Chain A
């Protein structure tokens, strides 16, 4: 340490005059007055904009659902018999690995010890945690409220799986073998491309059917060709699909006339899937 120079200490003297103090005080008072005037007050250039934005926020949640439709689903827990047809049709149509289905059915008991069945596709949250956390925007909202993925962009970090409150996402841990889908052709044939190893995948509400159907002038939820496979196959009609934006759609009518619940609503996720509970309650 001998090479280090000896430091010369400098004394710093701060001189404040009365004028300085007054100037500082004036500046402080000035900014206190100016700040609210410029930001929220009548002088603010943002005033109008902000109000507009607030209204927008209230009406469309996270700025999504700006399109003509907002696709949603009603699942009646009262009607569901737990046959798992939805799981099988989904697995065949979307060519999903049977061990990691997009759509699941879970038996549960009501407080009165009655068995009922909880089925769960992706809930297509309007405030979707998975969309928020994706580092590359591979998961995103469409204008019609659907949460979908770009499999060409996903890097497989699995943060969306960690963030999803509903475990609705599956990761492709390995490459698929040629014909590992035993539900084909009995339950349908693949309508979409198989996802590669190393990306996360999820339920899309069969967007390929919705998009193609709308182009042909069909209405998803009404015309079978444009409706998700799980809805079409249900033997008891427990699932209803349609636009939540259209007050006259079957789905909107169902929600209006029945008690409904949404999963983990307390998280503010605003799912697009509504459940009608069993008659005797949960």
Chain B
């Protein structure tokens, strides 16, 4: 694929006072994050608020969300290289970068979350092909490698590789396989993005998880929100640098695509709500929902967080022509959709764990209100992920040629 349109030079970030403050902020975030990580490694997961009845919490929510928000990479690669809409090419490098950031953030969080991080490699060696989580782990790691290979040509353009031209040649090698990588990436992504939903969908002992719509909702919401996040990053970088990054007509097309995607997701969500709570309702599901209603702000977070903030507001901002032309509206919409995704993943993860299906001795039949709220140390890991993601983006913008050459 052509790279001639991409400038070989990265954008210059002025080393002014603002940039120094920004670097300081990143350093603070990372310091808090590393401190939390070290504490978790030393003391173990006992310092979290997770328990045997709520074994998954904030960190799993972060995993799911960052993978979903990184979905722009495979969606946009597929649009450009498989469906041949070459007009959108200028955003590909940024999309792959955002995807890489999301997926590697998920890996960082997962490493914190498992009890034995020293055994992180076990899924590659000890296969259980019946396990959704095994499949997801394999797919995510393979896809992360695909992203790195896709991004290699950009990395080797960094100034530092002037000294090692051979590495630069090697880094450009994947160009020949770009369409192949796009197909591979799309296949793997479609499978694992939906399998993340299936991780919950296959658990027959949990009434609000065990349904076939789970994988569809996960993959659709990711396809819709992922590209919007990429667009938001493009606009924000543009504001900071004061220079055009990706042509605005390209960004507008992508926001419209996201808007349509969100409406499709909303439609499936509506159908799911009707199917689960109305015409397909069972007593287990009903009591689960009433339990959730009593003990958590489930209703509020569903309607306001998932539906209004996550679907309606961004869909309006992305699709109504007046807003679609406005970069600020696109950024607000993308953040709103992002928040919606995070709230959805939280509601699925933690909400589902609160409610057992039917009687069994000793199952946590009625948990006290607020029985899981993340501990400070868990938020600390959240800060680590945010700090990590922002650092990766900053370094990439500073040192790598992400955007097209500007006409002078």
List chain A positions with a Cβ less than 8 A from chain B.
1-4, 100, 104, 106, 108, 118-120, 129, 132-138, 153-159, 161-167, 169-175, 197-200, 263-264, 266-268
Contact indicator B134/A199 (Cβ below 8 Å): no
Counting from the closest, the 10 A-B pairs by CB-CB distance are: A156-B115, A198-B115, A165-B205, A118-B361, A174-B46, A135-B134, A158-B55, A173-B46, A135-B133, A136-B126
Most buried by B among A120, A162, A200: A162
Contact indicator A161/B55 (Cβ below 8 Å): yes
Known: A136-B122, A171-B52, A174-B44. A159 touches B133 (CB 8 A): yes
* Closest Cβ neighbor of B134 among chain A residues: A135
Contact indicator B203/A163 (Cβ below 8 Å): yes
Contact indicator B360/A263 (Cβ below 8 Å): yes
By secondary structure, the B interface counts as loop
How far, in whole Å, are A128 and B53 apart by their CA atoms in the complex?
19
Report B-chain residues with C-beta under 8 Å of the C-beta of A199: 115-116
Report the minimal beta-carbon distance from A158 to chain B, rounded to whole angstroms.
4
Report the minimal beta-carbon distance from A272 to chain B, rounded to whole angstroms.
15
Report B-chain residues with C-beta under 8 Å of the C-beta of A174: 43-46
Contact indicator B202/A135 (Cβ below 8 Å): no
Q: B136-178 CB contact bits vs A (8 Å, 1 = yes)?
A: 0100000000000000000000000000000000000000000
How far, in whole Å, are A170 and B53 apart by their CA atoms in the complex?
9
Q: B88-114 CB contact bits vs A (8 Å, 1 = yes)?
A: 000000000000000000000000011
Report A-chain residues with C-beta under 8 Å of the C-beta of B46: 173-174
Report the minimal beta-carbon distance from A225 to chain B, rounded to whole angstroms.
29
Report A-chain residues with C-beta under 8 Å of the C-beta of B356: 165
Known: A134-B128, A155-B123, A175-B44. A165 touches B357 (CB 8 A): yes
Most buried by A among B43, B203, B407: B203
Report the minimal beta-carbon distance from A98 to chain B, rounded to whole angstroms.
14
Contact indicator A167/B4 (Cβ below 8 Å): no
Report A-chain residues with C-beta under 8 Å of the C-beta of B242: none
In addition to A155-B115, A162-B353, A171-B52, 13 A-B residue pairs with Cβ atoms within 8 Å of each other are: A104-B361, A132-B131, A135-B131, A137-B128, A138-B126, A154-B115, A157-B113, A158-B56, A159-B131, A167-B52, A167-B364, A170-B52, A171-B115
Contact indicator B5/A137 (Cβ below 8 Å): no
Contact indicator B203/A155 (Cβ below 8 Å): no
B239 interfacial contact with A, CB 8 Å? no
B180 interfacial contact with A, CB 8 Å? no
B280 interfacial contact with A, CB 8 Å? no
Most buried by B among A120, A153, A163, A169: A163
B212 interfacial contact with A, CB 8 Å? no
Residues 328-374 (chain B) with a chain A CB within 8 angstroms: 353, 356-358, 360-364
Report the minimal beta-carbon distance from B212 to chain A, rounded to whole angstroms.
17
Contact indicator A264/B131 (Cβ below 8 Å): no
Report A-chain residues with C-beta under 8 Å of the C-beta of B247: 1
Contact indicator B115/A158 (Cβ below 8 Å): yes
Contact indicator A3/B133 (Cβ below 8 Å): no
How far, in whole Å, are A164 and B356 apart by their CA atoms in the complex?
10
Contact indicator A155/B205 (Cβ below 8 Å): no
Contact indicator A129/B203 (Cβ below 8 Å): yes
Contact indicator B126/A137 (Cβ below 8 Å): yes
How far, in whole Å, are A118 and B51 apart by their CA atoms in the complex?
23
How far, in whole Å, are A119 and B362 apart by their CA atoms in the complex?
9
B127 interfacial contact with A, CB 8 Å? yes
* Closest Cβ neighbor of B209 among chain A residues: A162
Contact indicator A3/B128 (Cβ below 8 Å): no
How far, in whole Å, are A192 and B202 apart by their CA atoms in the complex?
34
B35 interfacial contact with A, CB 8 Å? no
Known: A104-B361, A137-B127, A155-B115. A163 touches B205 (CB 8 A): yes
Contact indicator B115/A164 (Cβ below 8 Å): no
* Closest Cβ neighbor of A127 among chain B residues: B204
B408 interfacial contact with A, CB 8 Å? no
Contact indicator A120/B115 (Cβ below 8 Å): no
Contact indicator B52/A267 (Cβ below 8 Å): no
How far, in whole Å, are A174 and B46 apart by their CA atoms in the complex?
5
Report the minimal beta-carbon distance from B171 to chain A, rounded to whole angstroms.
23
**From B4, B113, B360, contact of A165 by CB (8 A):** B360
Report B-chain residues with C-beta under 8 Å of the C-beta of A2: 407
* Closest Cβ neighbor of A172 among chain B residues: B115
Report B-chain residues with C-beta under 8 Å of the C-beta of A1: 247
How far, in whole Å, are A172 and B52 apart by their CA atoms in the complex?
9
B132 interfacial contact with A, CB 8 Å? yes
* Closest Cβ neighbor of A156 among chain B residues: B115
Contact indicator B132/A133 (Cβ below 8 Å): yes
Report the minimal beta-carbon distance from B253 to chain A, rounded to whole angstroms.
13
Q: B205-221 CB contact bits vs A (8 Å, 1 = yes)?
A: 11000000000000000
How far, in whole Å, are A263 and B395 apart by their CA atoms in the complex?
56
Report B-chain residues with C-beta under 8 Å of the C-beta of A266: 358
How far, in whole Å, are A279 and B50 apart by their CA atoms in the complex?
40
Report the minimal beta-carbon distance from B11 to chain A, rounded to whole angstroms.
19
Report B-chain residues with C-beta under 8 Å of the C-beta of A267: 204-205, 357
Report A-chain residues with C-beta under 8 Å of the C-beta of B364: 167
Known: A4-B5, A135-B133, A198-B115. A129 touches B361 (CB 8 A): no
Contact indicator A136/B115 (Cβ below 8 Å): no
Report the minimal beta-carbon distance from B217 to chain A, rounded to whole angstroms.
19
Report B-chain residues with C-beta under 8 Å of the C-beta of A200: 115
Contact indicator A197/B44 (Cβ below 8 Å): yes
Report B-chain residues with C-beta under 8 Å of the C-beta of A3: 4-5
Report A-chain residues with C-beta under 8 Å of the C-beta of B322: none
B12 interfacial contact with A, CB 8 Å? no
17 pairs, CB–CB < 8 Å, chain A vs chain B: A4-B86, A104-B362, A118-B361, A132-B131, A134-B131, A136-B119, A136-B134, A155-B119, A156-B119, A157-B113, A159-B133, A165-B357, A167-B362, A173-B44, A173-B50, A198-B116, A267-B357
Report the minimal beta-carbon distance from A277 to chain B, rounded to whole angstroms.
13
Report A-chain residues with C-beta under 8 Å of the C-beta of B43: 174
How far, in whole Å, are A161 and B137 apart by their CA atoms in the complex?
18
How far, in whole Å, are A263 and B358 apart by their CA atoms in the complex?
9
